[in-house]
Structures are given as structure tokens and as C-alpha cells.
Amino acid sequence: MSEFKQAIVRAYEQLFVKTWSPMMGAIMIAFFCILLETWYRPWGIVGGLRNWADWFFYGIGVYEDAPPHPLYFSSSVLNIGFIWGAFIAACLAKQFAIRIPPTLEFIKAIVSGILMGIGSALAMGCNIGGFFVALHNLAASGFLMMIGLVIGVRLGLSYLFWELEHLPCGGGKEIGFPKINPLLGILALVGLIVATYAYFHSDLDNGEILGGCLIITAGIGFAMHRSRLCIVNALREPFMSGMAEMGKAVSVAIILGAIGVAILKYQEIRPEMMYVTPTFGIGALLGGFIFGLGMVVAGGCGSGSLWRVAEGQLKLWVVAIVFGLTNSVIRYLFAEYDVIENGYLGKAIYMPDYLGYGGTLFLITIVMVLWYIIIDWNEETNKFVMEL
């Protein structure tokens, strides 16, 4: 019996305490992304943040029309599920604590949140909706945003290097309660199951849909926190430390997700143009650049910021709030001037219309494999690593 008990303890440690490898996380996330899109819709972050920010502006009387109820609106429910899942993961690993950074970090959080809000408005999605899930959905704008992100990340890193020389700071702290962490985690897990049942048995027309969205994105949040999967890290480390592990994992997740969604779209289970936004042009490229710049300074992308919110990093709370508010304002202005309808951001390009499904999957695979090889080569040679 004692050996069986040990096996249980080992299983618990492996699943809930030890950090998963990024590759394990990436494969799980691709799996959950395909499940979510099969269930109802693609994954996204910024739509939910904007919904919450819209409520704020509606509440203070700036917007006239009431936004959709956050509990009945799928974009918002996705974020609730994501944060919930990441919170469960953080608590079970005893990693939830209120972490208070030095003042400079709060200033960086505000500035980077504004940049991320602008960037994600231009690209009509953050690094998830505009890049990661856009490529899953075979949208050409995903590639353009990737180029913009890389350039923005590289420039943002130059700023961080400059800051290191000129703005020394220290003196943050952590308020932790590791002893009650597992209890919080178990309570949150029970709460998640109750909430999912509540959706399924509610009178809402879309109750079942929302319940599925909630628990599937909780899976994404859980897997993302366990593996600390981070797209900023994937794009930044080749320039900063040379490490390629995260980048390789993300490239594999993009290929796997694209295969899954290609099947859904080919079989007409989901509309072809789902998540193919009219941003192939200045929107994705410039949006990616501005967002990339912001996310390096923030230390978290759309998804990375939210799982760090769930871990108790106060800097990322500020990032997420300012990011949502800014995105809401810019999208409001876009609507006033019909920016999206007039095609100022670019065209909606669905790659299979030009390359066929086979050709599109081939192109995505080639680009991702090429990225994989380049960062692996860079890990050996340090070609792109910036000197401090």
C-alpha cells in the first residue's frame, strides 16, 4: 500500500507541482485550442478584456450602449475560464502569491498596456487572436503579425538593456500564503466544476456553449501555467539569452493547431472565414510591431499576462487593465470612423483560397520548421544574441 501511496504522490507532483516542459504544454494547448474551436469558437484574449473595459466606459457614461453581459458573452467567458484554470494550477503548485514590484515596473506596466491595447486594436487581436490562433485559422495576417512582433520584440529588448544601465531599481516584495495554496486550488477546482454545471443547466439559450467554453479554456490556462508557456519568451529569448526551447514549442503548437482547424474548416464544421480578419496589410504588421514592443516591456503577451494575473503578479494586473481599456477606446474610435469596414487595416486573406488546404498547411509547416531551425542554430552560435 505504501508503494501505491508513493505512486499517487509522484503522479500529483508530476502533474501539479513540477513545471511541465514547454513542449508538453504546447501540445496540450494545441489540443485544447482545437477542442475549443470544435466546440464553438477559436480562442482569443482581447475580445474579453475589451468587453470588461466597455463596461467600465459604459458605467462612467462615456459609451451609450450597454455591452453584452460578461457572464453571457463567450469572449469574456473564455478569459474567465483561462484565469480560473491558471489560478488552479498556480495554487496547486503553491505558486500563488501577491507579488509587488518596484515602482518603475508599475510605470512600465501602464506604458506597455497602452502599447498592447493599440497594437491589438490594429491587428484585431493580441498575439493569440492575431498571430497564434490566426495561423491556426489559416489567415495570412498571422504571418504579417509575426514579422511585426519579432521587430517589436527586438526593439523592446533594446529598451530593457538601456533601462538596465540607466534606471536601476529594486525593492519589490511578495506576500505569500503557501500553506493555504493547495486548499485554494481545490476550492477553485470545485468552483469551476459547479460553474460549468450551472451553465449547462441554466435557462440561457447558449448556456451549454458557454459552459464548454469555460471549462475548455480553463484547460488552456492550466496547461499554460504548468508549462509557463509564453509567446514573449518564445520570440525574445533568441535575442536575449539564446535559449530556443520555448520558441520550438510554440512553432510545434502552431503546426498542430493549424492541422486541426484545417480539418474543421475543410469539412465545413466551422466557417472558412472565422478569425480571418481584414488586417493583412498595415494592421497586422504595425499592430504586431507595437504589440511586440509593449509585450516585452510588460513581460507578458495577451495570454502570458493573464496567467501571470492568476499567479498574483500585480504588474501584470496593471498591464491587463490598461491593455483592455486602451483597446476598448481605440476600437470605439475605429467604429466611429469605419476604419475596419473601409479596409484601412488591410484585407482578409484566407490562405487556402490562394494555395489550397494542402499548400497552406505546407507553407505554415515550412515557415515554422524554418523558425525552429534558425533559433536552434542561434542557440549554438549566438548569432542574434544581443550583448549587454
Partner 1 sequence: MSDIKIAPDDIKPDETLDCKGLSCPMPLLKTKKAIQKLSSGQILEVLGTDPGSKNDIPSWCERAGHEFLGIKEDQGFTRFYIKKG
Q: Which residues bind partner 1 (CB under 8 A)?
A: 18-21, 93, 95, 97, 99-102, 105, 160-161, 164, 170-176, 228, 230, 232-233, 236, 240-243, 245, 296, 299-300, 308, 311, 313, 315-316, 379, 388
Nearer to partner 1, 174 or 341 (CB): 174
148's CB contacts (< 8 A; 6+ apart) are 123, 284, 285, 286, 287, 288, 289, 290, 291, 292
Q: What does the block give as the cell for 384?
A: 542574434
Find where cell 462615456 sits: 62
CB of 241 to partner 1, least distance (A): 5
User: How many CB atoms are closer than 10 A to CB 165?
Assistant: 8
Helix, strand, coil percentages for the chain (3-state, nearest 5): 70, 5, 25
Q: Kindly tell me which of 184 and 243 has the beta carbon lying closer to partner 1.
A: 243
Whichever of 280 and 372 has its CB closer to partner 1, that residue is: 372
Considering the complex, state which of residue 54 and residue 379 has its C-beta at the smaller distance from partner 1.
379
The helix/strand/coil state of 279 is coil
Rounded Cα distance, 1 and 13, in Å? 18
**Distance of closest approach, residue 359 Cβ to partner 1, in angstroms:** 37
**Taking the complex as a whole, how short is the minimal distance between the CB of residue 85 and partner 1, in angstroms?**
16
CB of residue 237 vs partner 1: minimum separation in angstroms?
Answer: 8
When the beta carbons of 149 and 316 are compared against partner 1, the nearer one is 316
The least distance separating partner 1 from the CB of residue 90, rounded to whole angstroms, comes to 8
Cα–Cα distance measured from residue 247 to residue 2, given in angstroms and rounded to the nearest whole number: 41
Maximal C-alpha separation, the chain: 70
Q: How far apart are CA 30 and CA 237, in angstroms?
A: 22
Can you tell me the distance from the alpha carbon of 157 to that of 163, in angstroms, rounded to the nearest whole number?
Answer: 10
Least distance to partner 1 from the beta carbon of 101, Å?
A: 4
Backbone angles phi, psi at 174, to 5 degrees: -130, 135
List residues bridging with 347 in a β-sheet: 280
Nearest residue (CB) to partner 1, 161 versus 357: 161
Q: How far apart are the C-alpha atoms of 137 and 351, rounded to whole Å?
A: 9
Q: Which is nearer to partner 1, 209 or 243 (CB)?
A: 243
Nearer to partner 1, 25 or 278 (CB): 25
Residue 340 identity: I
Taking the complex as a whole, how short is the minimal distance between the CB of residue 22 and partner 1, in angstroms? 9
Name every residue whose Cβ is closer than 8 Å to that of residue 221 and which is 6 or more positions away in sequence.
Answer: 81, 82, 83, 84, 85, 86, 87, 88, 89, 306, 307, 310
64 Cβ contact list (under 8 Å, min separation 6): 58
Q: Tell me how far, at minimum, the Cβ of 27 lies from partner 1, in Å.
A: 15
